[in-house]
Structures are given as C-alpha cells and as structure tokens.
Amino acid sequence: MLGHARQLIERTLIGDSVPALVRWGKHVPRSLIRGIQADAFRGLVRYAAEHQKFFARKLRERGIDPKRVRRPEDLGGIFTTPEDLRTLPADEFLCREPELVFETTGTSGGPKRVYFSYEELDFAARYEAAGLYENGVRPGARVVCTFDAGYWISSWVTFLACKRLGVFCSAVGKPHPREVYSRLSTYRYNVIAADPTWLVSLSEIAEKEGTFPLRLILAAGDRMTDVYRSYVEGVWKCPVLLAYGSTEQGGAGMECLRKDGYHLDDFNIYFEILDPDENGYGELVATTLARRTMPFIRYRVHDVTRFIEEPCPCGATLRRIERIKGRRDEMVVMGAGNMYPEIFERVLHDVAGVSENWQVAVRQEGLHDILEFCLELTNGTSTSKVEGAIQENLKNLYPDVWANCACGMYRLAFRFLPPGGIEQGRKPRRLVDERAT
C-alpha cells in the first residue's frame, strides 16, 4: 500500500522536478517516511531473498522466512560487511545484469566493486541535486567538480546532479589545485565540489594570489576538521558544506546551511545505529532500499556517529546524523586518501634498518595533514636512505597516495628513535589518528 502511495506521490507531485523533491523532503511527516521505509525494506528483503545468493544463503543458515521479516531487527545477526564485498565474487551480490561499476579505494587488500544500472546512478544524482538546490545552487551557477573521476562514484553523481539542475558543470577529475585556480576566472566558476584537503591546497594559492567570487563550496571525501573549514571559508568568504556518502551507500547525506549534521536520504536508504553507547554513538548500518542491481542489506559502514533527534530549523523532516566521530575498523581518512595499516606494512617491509616496532601517525600542523613515520633504526643505516626508500616504495606501490602528496594534500614526516623508543601495548597500533576533531 505504502509502496503504491510513494509511487503515486512521486509521479504526480514530483516527477523530474528538483524543487518539488525538496518540498517533499520538507513537508512529508516523519510517520509517513517511516512507513515508506518499512514498506521498502520488506520489499527489498523479499527481492534479495529471491535474487541474491549471499542474502538467500544467510537466510537459510538462520532459518529465517523472508515473508516474516518486517524490520531490520528481525534479521538478527545478518549483515553485509566490507570484508564480504572484498573477498566474495560479485555474483554473490548481483541480482541482475549490471550496466556500470565503481570501486572503493583499494588500499586495504583490494578494491570493493559495486555495480549499478544507469537508472540507479541517475536516481542517486536526483537526490544530490535536491541537496544542492536546497543550498542555493540554481540555473546560472557554474560548478567545477574535482572529485576523483577514476573508478569512484562521487564525480559522476555530482555531474549528473548538475545536469538535472541545468547548471554548468566541469567534472575534471582531481588535477593539481594550480590547474583549477588558473581557470576559475576563465570559466567563471562559482561553486566548487572537492576533497577537503585539496580545498586547503587551493585556498593557500588563493590566499597569496587572490580569490574569485564563490557562492558555495561542497566538501566530501576525506576528513574536514573545523580548522580546515574555518580556513577555507575565511579565504573564499562563502559557506563550506559537507556531504557524506560512499560507493556502497551512494550519496547518503548533506549538510544544510546551518551546518548541524547530515540530512540523510531517508527515502532511499534505511539507516541504523548498531550497538549505541550511553551517548547514542554506534556504528552506522545502511540498507540501500532503492537499488535492485546490487542492493546491500544492513551494510556495516564502520563509521561511528549518532542520530540527531531534534528537528532541524531548516524545516526538513529527513533524519540527521552527526559528523563522523571515528571508525570501527582501523582506517584513517586523511589527505593521502583512505589509509590502512596494510599500506605501511607493504611500504616498510623491505626497508633495511627499520625494526618491526614501527608506527605511523596522522597529525595536523596548521592547515595540513601530516603523515609521520615513527621508526626505530637497528643497524646504523642513515636516516636519509630510509626516507628515500620509503618515498620510493610509496610512489611505486601507491601512486594515487603519492600523487596526493604532490598536490599538497598532506605532508610526509619522519621521526627516528632508538630500539625500544616506541612504546606500545601487547597489540601494537600500527596507524593512529592524533588530530583533533
């Protein structure tokens, strides 16, 4: 019943109209949104039970009848994890023939591949378009998008969102900030969508050489601290808003101009907070309600956050989450990209004179992320040789990570200690994030 109601509402009141979609997100009561989610969740469970090998097997193993599932809790311990996606073949998750594929960063032992249809990608862009429209992007705006355009999804979604809005857009991949700065005036860009640390590098150029009028900056990808945001806003004299998502989720949420949490795409993703603590913080879990090519049911995102229960003064009835507090796994998001301990194990494994007791720290100095290797030397090898070997390995093994360093998105540092100088517990922490929030 509610599924039919949703289709009727979208067909008659919204269609392809982004302004109408924004109005819908502001005026649909929470009770109706919850009903739409529950109806869509039940439908997805039955669809995946019939078409997805992975989910059907999980149901059989636990003796769960999909027709009796009404809410996520009815699935008990059934989740989809990044490890499942990374290690199992794609046909475990595919429900129909795909039309395109995207990858996540492959620095943790291989990429995670997520397949879509063209319609699903365009549908995701529709909701990003609504977020941009709500934040003031209108026909006449000129957008430059510098999200990595390789196998990542964000550049494509932003480009298609701009297409739906009817605004000028250059989706240029991730060039050096100097290249974009030299074209700001030529193409009269007034909206920038980019990674936070890339924006810092661009802003440092503009601070020295002059700025151009901007309406809005949209930041997503790596971690943007309050220090970064304040600096970028101070240089450009325009708001910097944060968006949140991943290849697995698609575009999951975006801030409004009040900058108080991400407004979630409740109509297409069912969000849970797993195992919340006394303050409500827990791991975000997402079910992709609107996808049928490769849907995810209860995907463990590993990001730690909590719901914001109070209504937003902007009037949107969509639920909000706070900015991401941290990770349940060991990944650290920074200017170099998504960093995992495995990266540094590979980089350091053949560097002579470095003991097994090492650690890599992510720090912040002023406006820059610092990737610092803390190393114990064992055989009198010169520090310059060690630094050179590490830089060479990083360049050869992870060219994307090295390219971000060349773009000024982070800086390398080295700290050398005598044997026993790095104090760690019984389980060494190879990668630590020492930045303030």
Q: How far, rounded to the nearest angstrom, does the alpha carbon of residue 374 sit from its chain's CA centroid?
A: 28
The string of pLDDT tens digits covering residues 167-219 is 999 999 999 999 999 999 999 999 999 999 899 999 999 999 999 999 999 99
| Rounded Cα–Cα distance for residues 367 and 29 (Å) | 42
The string of pLDDT tens digits covering residues 296-322 is 999 999 998 999 989 999 988 899 999
Give the dihedral of Cα atoms 227, 231, 237, 238; nearest 10 deg.
-50
Tokens, residue 76: 């008990």
Can you give the pLDDT at residue 8? 44
SS3 letters for 286-350? EEECCCCCCCCCCEEEEEEECEECCCCCCCCCCCEECCCCEECCCCEEECCEEECHHHHHHHHCC
**The model's pTM:** 0.83
The string of pLDDT tens digits covering residues 324-372 is 887 777 778 888 888 888 889 899 989 999 988 899 999 999 888 999 9
Question: What percent of the chain is modeled with pLDDT above 70?
Answer: 93
Can you give the pLDDT at residue 29? 87
Helices (H), 52-96: 53-62, 82-87
Tokens, residue 45: 């469970």
Given a cut of 90, whether residue 57 has pLDDT beyond it is yes
Whether domain 332-433 has CATH 1.20.1440.230: no
Average pLDDT on 68-86 reads 95
Where are the domains positioned within the chain? 332-433
The string of pLDDT tens digits covering residues 215-245 is 999 999 877 888 889 999 999 999 999 999 9
269 strand-pairing partners:
288
- Output phi, psi for 340, to 5 deg: -125, 155
